[in-house]
Amino acid sequence: MPTGAQTVQRFADVIDGAAPDPALPSSLVLAGAGKMGASLLDGWLKSGLDPVNVTILDPHPSEHIERLAAERGIALNTAIEAIRPPEVLVLAIKPQSLAEAAPSLARLVAPHTLVLSILAGKTLAGLAGHFPEAGAIVRAMPNLPASIGRGITGVVASQKTDDAQRSTATALLAGSGAVEWLDDEALIDALTGVSGSGPAYVFHLVEALAAAGVAAGLPADLAERLARGTVTGSGALLEASPLSATALREAVTSKGGTTAAALDELSGDNGIGPAVTRAVAAAKRRAQELAD
Ligand SMILES: NC(=O)C1=CN([C@@H]2O[C@H](COP(=O)(O)OP(=O)(O)OC[C@H]3O[C@@H](n4cnc5c(N)ncnc54)[C@H](OP(=O)(O)O)[C@@H]3O)[C@@H](O)[C@H]2O)C=CC1
Ligand SMILES: O=C(O)[C@@H]1CCC=N1
């Protein structure tokens, strides 16, 4: 395990290698350094955001968060009163915690503060209601591959967000992967169902494939390796190849062969297409419910 000092040095090395994006903010407060907040944080640091410009706010930090902050050389604050309104306030708490947390978080929002929320379902209008002082609000939906810089994030901004603030949001989110700006906020709940929640569907496929291998007679550890290797290898091929997913599927499928027999089972009304359609619709519906 690296020591805190070594980890800070590692981030410093990354920063030394590339010129930081000038749109990165000079002060940022992260409210919620859980799975996604911490993933985004590492992307910012790799992009060149100076750790001294970041504060993690957590009223009851776990040992894990204390270690995370110490290793990265980042201030960890438990009291909002001790923090001045930053250039960017990132909200990465659970949507269900917002109503309770917002009255105190609002003390961190000055008219110059860009509020960047990754909360599923929470709308720009709803956020503006919680943070009336805020001029600019950006609503984003990242996904878990952000933790290795391979995420894809949908993002939409309030009308009061100016070009410089949009650039700041892009610079921050690009630290963890691709960024897709949306013109229409109505799209972001559907995007949540596809890419926000989507990694879980892929991991569930790995689980199902491994279990199916065991049911077909394979030892469990071999089935797990085969399922994992098949999904990661297929993802890498999808990325490296100029072919579409459809063309790649066809490349695996010999006429009258084993894959065609399997795909027959995955097609039709009880197949994977309708199941995924229902899954995405359910996620979208849940995001809409979380708006309230
Ligand atoms: N996980 C994912 O793949 C994705 C998540 N999101 C969104 O990211 C947000 C966070 O999700 P996730 O990271 O999974 O959840 P986590 O539970 O891992 O992280 C939430 C963090 O917020 C902390 N927290 C709770 N209340 C406060 C507060 N008042 N001030 C500061 N920190 C607080 C929690 O601490 P404690 O545990 O002590 O309560 C926890 O560390 C959600 O809104 C979710 O919709 C978006 C895209 C993908
Ligand atoms: O499950 C959730 O609500 C969050 C949002 C998208 C992924 N995880």
Contact 73, 9 (CB under 8 A): no
For the chain, what's the residue count?
292
For the CA of 104, the closest atom of ligand 1 is 29
CATH number for the domain harbouring residue 59 = 3.40.50.720
User: Looking at the domain assignment, is residue 61 inside a domain?
Assistant: yes
Residue 95 Cα to ligand 1 middle (Å): 8
User: Looking at the domain assignment, is residue 11 inside a domain?
Assistant: yes
Residue 267 Cα to ligand 2 middle (Å): 27
How many domains does the structure of the chain reveal?
Answer: 2
DSSP conformational letter for 185: G
101 lies in the same domain as 229: no
Q: Count Cβ atoms below 10 Å from residue 275 Cβ, excluding itself.
A: 13
Domain boundary among 134, 160, 184: 184
Per-residue pLDDT of the chain (292 residues; tens, 9 = 90+): 333 333 344 444 444 566 889 999 999 999 999 999 999 999 999 999 999 999 999 999 999 999 999 999 999 999 999 899 999 999 999 999 999 999 999 999 999 999 999 999 999 999 999 999 998 999 999 999 999 999 999 999 999 999 999 999 999 999 999 999 999 999 999 999 999 999 999 999 999 999 999 999 999 999 999 999 999 999 999 999 999 999 999 999 999 999 999 999 999 999 999 999 999 999 999 999 999 8
Q: Which residues line ligand 2 (CB under 6 A)?
A: 120, 192, 196-197
Q: How are strands ordered across the β-sheet holding 177-181?
A: 75-77, 54-57, 28-31, 88-91, 114-117, 136-141, 151-157, 177-181
204 lies in the same domain as 157: no
166 lies in the same domain as 46: yes
Tokens of 109: 């929002």
Domain extent, residue 154, equals 4-184
178 lies in the same domain as 33: yes
What is the rounded CA–CA span in Å between residue 112 and residue 128?
A: 14
93 lies in the same domain as 221: no
Which residue's C-alpha comes closest to atom 48 of ligand 1?
Answer: 143
Ligand 1 pocket member 93 (CB < 6 A) = yes
Residue 101 Cα to ligand 2 middle (Å): 19
102 lies in the same domain as 177: yes
What is the rounded CA–CA span in Å between residue 179 and residue 141?
A: 10
Using the structure block, give the residue that is written with the tokens 């105190």: 104
Ligand 1 pocket member 153 (CB < 6 A) = no
| ipTM score assigned to the predicted complex | 0.99
Domain boundary among 184, 213, 231: 184
Output 186-190 pairs: Cβ under 8 A, ≥24 positions apart. 187/154, 187/156, 188/139, 188/141, 188/154, 188/156, 188/287, 189/121, 189/284, 189/287, 189/288, 190/280, 190/284
User: Looking at the domain assignment, is residue 117 inside a domain?
Assistant: yes
Ligand 1 pocket member 213 (CB < 6 A) = no
167 lies in the same domain as 254: no
160 bridge partner residues: none
User: Looking at the domain assignment, is residue 152 inside a domain?
Assistant: yes
Residues whose CB is less than 8 angstroms from the CB of residue 3 and which lie 6 or more positions away in sequence, other chains included: none
169 lies in the same domain as 205: no
User: Looking at the domain assignment, is residue 191 inside a domain?
Assistant: no
76 bridge partner residues: 56
Residue 292: what pLDDT? 83
User: Looking at the domain assignment, is residue 233 inside a domain?
Assistant: yes
Residue 112 Cα to ligand 1 middle (Å): 25
Residue 6: what pLDDT? 38
Residues whose CB is less than 8 angstroms from the CB of residue 283 and which lie 6 or more positions away in sequence, other chains included: 192, 193, 196, 197
8 lies in the same domain as 129: yes
Residue 17: what pLDDT? 61
User: Looking at the domain assignment, is residue 192 inside a domain?
Assistant: no
Which residue's C-alpha comes closest to atom 3 of ligand 2?
Answer: 120
Q: Which of 145, 155, 153, 189 is nearest to 280 (CA)?
A: 189
166 lies in the same domain as 260: no
Most informative mutation of 192, 195, 285 for ligand 2 (most atoms within 8 A of CB) = 192
283 lies in the same domain as 210: yes
Which residue's C-alpha comes closest to atom 43 of ligand 1?
Answer: 119
Which residue's C-alpha comes closest to atom 32 of ligand 1?
Answer: 32
